[in-house]
Amino acid sequence: MSENKKYNESEWLYATARVRALEKRIPDRSGIERLLDARDVSEMCAACSDVGLALESSDTEKGLRRFLASVYAETCEMAPDPGMLDVMRFPNDAHNIKAALKCSIVSRDPAGLLIENGTVDSRKTAQAVLDRKFDLLPGNMGAAAKEALEAWATTRDPQYIDQLVDAGCALDKKANADEYGDRFTVGLVELESDLTNVLICIRITRMTGEGADTEYLHRMLLPGGSLGADFFVTAYNDGEPALWAKLASTRYSSLAEKLDSAGVYTLSAVERSVDDMRSEYMTSSRFILAGPPALISYIDSAERFVKNVRIIIAGKQAGEANETIRERLRGLNV
């Protein structure tokens, strides 16, 4: 650990205190329920104004993006070292790189698909991909983007683009967490890769049957987790029950226990339990006096809130019942 960057906890006291005041504006479960109870999108937008989220029913996405941009901007501004928040910003870079790669293949302008809040400006990301200047992108994702184009040239399979860039993102997150050595962040990166791999293993098992395409599973798994590829390949070869049995002896034992107690192993139930476990980990940042975990958790709360608002809006526009929409909401059981 001596080679890792160190941060002075006292330097983060102000940022942590300020964030813990700001996070109170992010609606909790009861707040989300109030939005869900709105009769239509217009009424929901009016309710959002009560929590400082300005939305216009004619273009809700603009307001949601503006809200997230303000969250990222204020956390990066108050952080003594904004680099310690890059684990939350890298996925936005990955999204932009994937969008830019796919658009460059079909000679389409990616502007409408890009999002902000990455470590690289979205327009610069698109231009770097267009000019094939991958060294201007985050290290592993830049290398992955180059490899993805080479894979596309021989396979014409866009799935390779997603898989390679996502793997590069996972490696960049791990490198960042390891560089700083913050225990919470290192644990978060491992947990995210492991939980994603659990879902990947289950989906492929249910899609192909146990052990049907081990090479495909191995290619799709993300790096950076505490559970190696062999863990999932073995479970895949032995069938889904083997995966739950193996997880019982890991830090993810509660995941299997929760599903077992409910007696429901549908994919949606598994996804909800995975989201809940990640949310529970984020909640543990409250027990840390000061440091980047509080700011990371605040960003995550804002991202989760916006995701749920989008789900509610889509459901309202489709005329779905509240119960149907509620089943798709995430992170409300923590």
Residue 213 counted as domain residue = yes
**Looking at the domain assignment, is residue 136 inside a domain?**
no
- State which residues form the domain around 241: 183-289
Say which CATH number the domain at 237 has.
Answer: 1.20.1690
pLDDT at residue 1, as a whole number: 38
- Residue 323: predicted pLDDT: 87
How many structural domains are present in the chain? 1
Give the pLDDT of residue 334.
45
Query: What does the alpha-carbon distance between residue 134 and residue 130 come to, in Å, rounded to a whole number?
Result: 9
User: What single string gives the DSSP state of each residue in 114-164?
Assistant: --S-SSS-HHHHHHHHHTT-GGGS-HHHHHHHHHHHHHHHHH--THHHHHH
| Tokens 């997603």, residue located | 162
Of 273, 278, 272, 280, the closest CA to residue 311 belongs to: 272
| Whole-number pLDDT of residue 34 | 86
Residue 93 within a domain: no
So what's the pLDDT on residue 129?
Answer: 96
Going residue by residue through the chain, which has 334 residues, state the pLDDT in tens, using 9 for 90 and above: 345 676 778 899 999 999 999 988 888 888 888 888 888 888 888 888 776 778 887 888 888 999 999 999 999 999 999 999 999 999 999 999 999 999 999 999 999 999 999 999 999 999 999 999 999 999 999 999 999 999 999 988 888 999 999 999 999 999 999 999 899 999 999 999 999 999 999 999 888 876 678 899 999 999 999 999 999 999 999 888 889 889 988 999 888 787 776 666 788 888 888 988 999 999 999 888 899 999 999 999 999 999 999 998 888 888 888 888 888 887 665 4
Where do runs of H (alpha helix) occur along the chain? 13-22, 29-36, 41-48, 60-78, 86-105, 122-130, 139-155, 159-180, 183-208, 214-220, 229-238, 240-247, 253-262, 267-283, 292-317, 322-326
- Say whether pTM exceeds 0.75: yes
User: Residue 143's CB: how many other CB atoms inside 10 A?
Assistant: 17
190: in domain: yes
